[in-house]
Chains A and B, each alone.
Chain A
Amino acid sequence: MSRLQFSKEGRFRILMVSDAHWNYRKHVPYTGEMYRERQRRIVDGIERLLAWAKPDFVLLGGDQCLGADTEEEMQEEMEKLLAPVLKRGLPWAAVFGNHDREQNHSLETEQRAYEKIPGCLSAAGPEDLPGVGNYCLEVFSSREEGVACHIWGLDSLAESKRDFVQYLNLPQDTRFVLPRPLHMGCGYAGVTPKQVFWYYRESERREREAGKKIPAVMFMHIPLPELCTTVRNPAECNLWGMQLEKPCPPELNSGMFMACLQRGDVKGIFFGHEHSNAFDSEYCGITLGYDGTIGYDMNGTTCYMWGGRVIDLTEDGGFSTRFIPLMRLMKLEDMGIWGERRE
């Protein structure tokens, strides 16, 4: 397995790309040629982001939606999607999204397919935790042996009616979403208390082992409820970037944000899920940011949101991030049907 390490200059760059929805068909009929053209555009988008950002590591933010049934086909589709990453021999990892669960296979199978592809660093994670893909990656220091940064990935599950009922062992008819909701009234699930406590204890253990707190960034697909605070208070939260839809966190808050605050290691938490949000914001010293979407030509999504997020870490614990719209890397006329002028 490849090893993540800060450069000699003490830098490490992550590129996050989310919501590829590889097997998406916008409408019927969506002919084979249009389908292939869309996939070509996605790969081209990743290629341009990589060429511009030159990251050390790529993170897929969920909803890859490969649309294959067998492990072999999945591996094949994923290799097509990741072609520009694999060409460069870059290490990569992924978290799963809600739609990845709607495919004709289990996430365990998909994770196994991922692990056969060169450079894959994400793991299924502890058996006793809900979901697939709860892990902590280590970025080593440039100078000495030892870990300088952690990259946490968590599985934010899918639907509260299914996953919270199952993992919290609640009655089938539990109404999570009420007419006047606590957050935004979405039925999505999110990380559960068990995952929060796993992160908390694991982060403590690693601090003890290293003899120091290790700065970190965290990735999951579905946003945390605290995003509702930052969009309601954009000026106070230093919000920057496009916010064209409401955040859709789960109605139940498992306390992950506060656990990160108390641990004091996580500097930024990044989400995918919403195709029309690509901003970042700050709350209580933690950056909360959305990746846009790399999925090309999807309903309700515009070309502004097409892109990826760059996260720059420095070895002394510094951290910065920005969303890179593909508009910045190409001209309108090169954007295919997204760039077509409409009369």
Chain B
Amino acid sequence: MEKLRFSKEGKFRITVISDIHWNYRKKADSSDAALRRRQQKITAGLEALAAWSEPDLVFLGGDQCLGADSAAGMQAELERLLMPVLKRGLPWAAVFGEGDSRKSDALKTEQEVYARIPGCVSTAGPEELPGVGNFCIEILSSQEDTAACHLWGLHTLPEDDYPRYLHLPENARPVLPNPLYGGSEQAGGLTPEQVLWYYEESERRERKAGKKIPGLMFLHHPLPEFCAPVRNPGECWVWRYLAEEKIGASELNAGMFMACLQRGDVKGIFCGHDHKNGFDSRYCDMLLCSNGSFGIDLEDVPYALWGGRVIDLAEDGKLTTQYIPVMQLMDREEMVTG
């Protein structure tokens, strides 16, 4: 697997795209031709974003939804989707969303397919953890072969997986009529085992390195704490692009936000899932960012939210991020013809 490294100038840029829903067919026209046109738009958008942002890594934020059953079919679809990335020989990583599959076994196959495609740096992660894609990627220092930054990816499980992983009673209903957080039936989250894995792995890496290593965390679903900025824009907004839907966070809170605070290494948490939320915010000195969606022509999503996110890391730990609407980067003709 290839190594990620800060540039000589001590910089590293990540471009995030979330919620592509590659196989999504619009209700109004569900023909194959319409799907192909939509996919062409996505690839054209990714081409424009990759050309403009010139990232060192591309991160897929879940709900790729390739829509193929066989490994060969999945690989073909993903290679089509990632064409602008592969053409440039860029490394890339991905976390999974509940739209990719609600079954871990299917995701294992999908992860194996991912791993076969050049540039893939994300991994399935420890066998004993719930879900597929719990990992920590190192970005090496420009000077030496030691990690200068960590990229944590975690698989937020579909909420209907909780009965299995938490051994909930049959009739347990985590989402009640008057919810505490997002209250969404579909919203998934982490389990305590995943939080504990992050915590202990982060401690272990700090001991090994002899210093705390700054990190970013990528999840498909927002954590419950993402409700704080949406409820308190005046106090928490750093920069608002659009926040049009309520936060699709799990009703059960596994404590990941507080674990990150306690470890003190993660500087920002990035999520997808909510197609109509694209914002940057801060709570308890933690950057909480929602990625919008890169799947154009999803129902009800304004074109203005079609975009990705650029994250700029500096080797000294500095972090800046900006949501980038794709339509600012290309003309209508490019979009239509691909």
Contact = CB atoms under 8 A, between A and B. Distances in A.
- Report whether chain A binds chain B: yes
Contacts of A300: none
Contacts of A175: 235, 284
A252 B285 contact: no
A180 interface: yes
Contacts of A252: 257-258, 261, 284
B166 interface: yes
B252 interface: yes
Contacts of B169: 284-285
Given A168-B261, A178-B236, A193 B255 contact: yes
Interface in B281-295: 283-285
Given A168-B262, A284-B169, A178 B176 contact: no
A229 interface: yes
Interface in A230-270: 232-233, 236-237, 252-259, 261-264
Interface string A171-200: 100111011111100000000111011001
A182 B224 contact: yes
Contacts of B236: 178
A193 B253 contact: no
Nearest to B230: A180
Nearest to A180: B231
A210 interface: no
Contacts of B234: 179
B232 A192 contact: no
Interface in B169-194: 169, 172-174, 176-181, 191-193
B107 to A, nearest CB: 20
Contact of A253 (B165, B200, B232, B258): B258
Contacts of A182: 180-181, 224-225, 227-228, 231
Contacts of B199: 193, 197
A256 B232 contact: no
Nearest to B191: A262
Contacts of B178: 232-233
A201 B200 CA distance: 11
Contacts of B166: 258, 261-262, 264, 284
A170 B284 contact: yes
B264 A284 contact: no
Contacts of A200: 192, 196
A137 to B, nearest CB: 23
Interface string B230-259: 011011100000000000000111111111
B195 interface: yes
A228 interface: yes
B51 interface: no
Contacts of A197: 196, 199-200
B249 to A, nearest CB: 10
B93 to A, nearest CB: 26
A229 B179 contact: yes
A262 B252 CA distance: 11
A307 interface: no
Interface string A190-216: 001110110011000000000000000
A193 B172 contact: no
Interface in B276-328: 283-285
Nearest to B195: A255
B168 interface: yes
A261 B190 CA distance: 13
A223 interface: no
A261 B168 contact: yes
B235 A285 contact: no
Contact of A257 (B179, B252, B257): B252
Contacts of B254: 255, 258-259
Given A252-B257, A259-B192, A225 B180 contact: yes
A263 B193 CA distance: 9
A178 B179 CA distance: 19
Interface in B35-66: none
B167 interface: yes
Interface in A130-180: 167-171, 174-176, 178-180
Contacts of B179: 229, 232
A232 B176 contact: yes
A284 B232 contact: no
B76 to A, nearest CB: 38
A124 B199 CA distance: 24
A259 B255 contact: yes
Interface in B258-272: 258-259, 261-262, 264
A194 B180 contact: no
Contact of A169 (B168, B255, B264): B264
A237 B176 contact: yes
A284 to B, nearest CB: 4
A178 B232 contact: yes
Contacts of A178: 228, 231-232, 235-236, 283
Nearest to B170: A285
A255 B251 contact: no
Contacts of B253: 225, 253, 255, 257-258
Nearest to A183: B180
A174 B285 contact: yes
A284 B176 contact: no
Given A168-B258, A226-B180, A253-B253, 6 more contacts: A175-B284, A179-B235, A182-B180, A201-B196, A233-B178, A264-B166
Interface of B: 165-169, 172-174, 176-181, 191-193, 195-196, 199-200, 224-225, 227-228, 231-232, 234-236, 251-259, 261-262, 264, 283-285
30 contacts: A168-B262, A178-B231, A182-B180, A182-B181, A183-B180, A193-B199, A193-B258, A193-B259, A197-B200, A229-B180, A232-B176, A233-B177, A233-B178, A236-B173, A252-B261, A253-B253, A253-B255, A255-B192, A256-B255, A257-B252, A258-B191, A258-B254, A261-B168, A261-B252, A262-B165, A262-B166, A262-B193, A284-B172, A284-B174, A284-B252
